Amino acid sequence: MITLSGIIGSGKSSLTEILAKELGTKAYYEPVKDNPVLPIFYKGNEIAAKKRAAGDKEATNPYAYLLQTFFLNRRFAMIKASMQEDNNILDRSIYEDEIFMKMNTEMGNATQVEYDIYKSLLANMMEELPYASHKKSPDLMITIKVSYPTMLQRIEKRGRDYEQVEQDPSLVEYYQRLLGHYDVWMDEYDASPLLVIDGDKYDFVANVNDRVIVLEQIEQKLYELNKISKEQLEDLKAQHVALLKEA
């Protein structure tokens, strides 16, 4: 089982799709299109920021806790399902979920009481996870690390209005804080082996050469972890040679 992590717009879903095709595995994707809370959460952030700027220091986003509970429930169900079988990839996991609730609390979008309840719920879920499957943790966590400018470029490219800083200037602080939290999370993560991909340097979606480099980094790591054989590694490298010739 491979799990991906990274900031909004880092390319998790794209790399998940590429890896699933490359390795012949099943892909699990974070719910976005069928998420009824996400658009109103962004609107709630904007409203809360304006109220605080106008002097209401207690203003919160009424949808912050709702959104994180929605995501937590979906991610718990998704990782439980993926852990029931071998050979699958998740484009986001439960292991980074707390980042968002912690940050929303720090920014005043959620209350400390909401954060404490959320942490208790998350802890209970994590305790139950090993009993719900035959795996205790991912075999590999892949983090796509990108800078703020790259993040904005990719957010703009995928075109969700509620994610654009031009539509909501309060997102500038939100995104920059999120990048900082991810740096801390990468340093502290210890649930499984971690591989960091340089998302600024490698455009694995549009550039075939970059895609091959990233795939070989991941597959070399899987080989070192004894998750693929030497023969499988060599076969994949041969496929890459053919792919580069076609490009």
Would you give per-residue pLDDT tens digits along the chain (247 residues)?
Answer: 999 999 988 999 999 999 999 999 999 988 667 788 888 888 887 888 888 888 888 889 999 999 999 999 989 988 888 888 788 999 988 999 999 999 989 988 899 999 999 999 999 999 888 776 667 789 999 999 999 999 999 888 887 887 888 888 878 888 999 999 999 999 999 999 999 999 999 999 999 999 999 999 999 999 999 999 999 999 999 999 988 988 7
Q: Considering only CA atoms, which of 186, 190, 197, 164 is closest in space to residue 46?
A: 164
Catalytic site positions: 91
Q: Is 42 annotated among the ligand-binding residues? A: yes
The number of helices, as runs of H, and strands, as runs of E, in the chain is: 9, 5
The number of CA neighbours under 13 Å toward the Cβ of 245 is 6
Q: Is position 155 annotated in a ligand binding site? A: yes
Residue 110's pLDDT is what? 92
Query: Buried b / exposed e across 161-185, counting CB within 10 Å, b at 16+?
Result: eebeeeebebbeebbeebeebbeeb
Question: How high is the pLDDT of residue 112?
Answer: 95
| Residue 64, both tokens | 């912050």
Given phi > 0 = left and psi -120 to 50 = alpha, else beta, which region is 225? Answer: alpha
Predicted pLDDT at 45:
79
Contacts of 22 (CB under 8 A, 6+ apart): 215, 236, 239
The answer on whether 79 is annotated among ligand-binding residues is: no
157 annotated ligand binder: yes
Q: Any known ligand binding at 163?
A: yes
| The pLDDT value given to residue 38 | 83
Superfamily of domain 2-201: P-loop containing nucleotide triphosphate hydrolases (3.40.50.300)
**Tell me, what's the pLDDT at 133?**
67
pLDDT of residue 51: 87
